[in-house]
Copies of this chain bind each other. A is one copy, B any other.
């Protein structure tokens, strides 16, 4: 059987697919390969490993029976071009590093070690307790509201609880283990949750119903001083509304790992925002790397390999995604 890996995010990890290698014939292509090359590679493909699927790829791969994403987000998939009967599956393994990153962000926004480090390494003791410098904060006793209580939300909750934080959440499906939550509700209950959040963590998929979910009206429901952490997708939060709330000083801070602007062929190094977030204090920025660990890649590609193996042996696949789950 033939499996085509599309673009570097997949092809760079071909070496991780040794396990199901016996049953599969792997071919690597790039989205911008020639039509002849794409037609040749995809024409007889049974499976593809790609971050997304569009009309062009679909055109060349009429016999596709499995689209295996090497990542979790399905927002790169144009479902209208997925052949009938083709299975779509995604991959995880990222809950641990995203939860670790989220706790780091919470702690850093309360403590501010970046500035502490910058000053003391120059012999400036003005932020020390020895000079009665400003105190920092604690996360203990804070309430964390999580939007989306899937694998990531659960991993965040387990860690936050060890810091004596109360965890509340809204999610599409009822939490399997609600014992770790002080309160939970459906996505419709978001506006009920927001006024209780010292930290609001966005950990849900980007779908048509979550795009622009955190808009000006909902941001205004957060209490003064609340901190927003986004480890999901930029477009879930309205950029201008968040900027205004941070600029006015009503919100206490934000940790943004995901953005409204990304590198493209036309603009390989854009600022990640349209509004000048870099002029604000207490915004912690990172370039969409919360999950980016070697251990995550190993776990994730182990899931991909397992699914290819299951497909070849006619077994049910893991992590299948259905159109109506979007």
Contacts and interface: CB of A to CB of B under 8 A. Distances in A.
A161 interface: yes
Interface stretch (A112-120, A201-209, A232-240): A112-120
A121 B263 CA distance: 14
Contacts of A271: 122-123
A285 B130 contact: no
Contact of A116 (B124, B132, B137, B285): B285
Interface residues of A, number: 67
Interface stretch (A102-110, A187-195, A314-322): A102-110
Contact of A285 (B103, B120, B129, B286): B120
17 contacts: A8-B132, A96-B140, A103-B163, A108-B108, A116-B285, A116-B289, A123-B272, A125-B268, A127-B289, A128-B288, A129-B287, A129-B291, A133-B292, A135-B292, A135-B296, A136-B292, A141-B295
A101 interface: yes
Interface in A118-157: 119-125, 127-133, 135-141
Interface of A: 8-9, 12, 96-97, 100-101, 103-105, 107-108, 110-111, 113-114, 116-117, 119-125, 127-133, 135-141, 158-159, 161-164, 262-263, 268-272, 277-278, 284-289, 291-297
Considering residues A105, A117, A124, A139, which has the most beta carbons from chain B within 10 angstroms of its beta carbon? A117
A131 B293 contact: no
A159 B163 CA distance: 6
Copy number in this complex?
2
A223 to B, nearest CB: 18
A132 B12 contact: yes
Nearest to A291: B129
Contact of A120 (B116, B272, B291): B272
Contacts of A121: 277-278, 285
A113 B257 CA distance: 10
Contacts of A132: 8-9, 12
Q: Of residues A12, A285, A289, which shows the largest number of chain B Cβ atoms within 10 Å of its Cβ? A: A289
The residue among A119, A284, A287 with the most chain B CB atoms within 10 A of its own CB is A287
A117 B117 contact: no
Contacts of A159: 159, 162-163
A111 B97 CA distance: 9
Contacts of A97: 136, 138, 140
Given A104-B107, A116-B286, 7 more contacts: A104-B108, A113-B286, A128-B289, A129-B288, A130-B262, A135-B293, A158-B162
B96 A129 contact: no
Contacts of A162: 158-159, 161-163
Contacts of A12: 132
Contacts of A101: 107, 111, 113
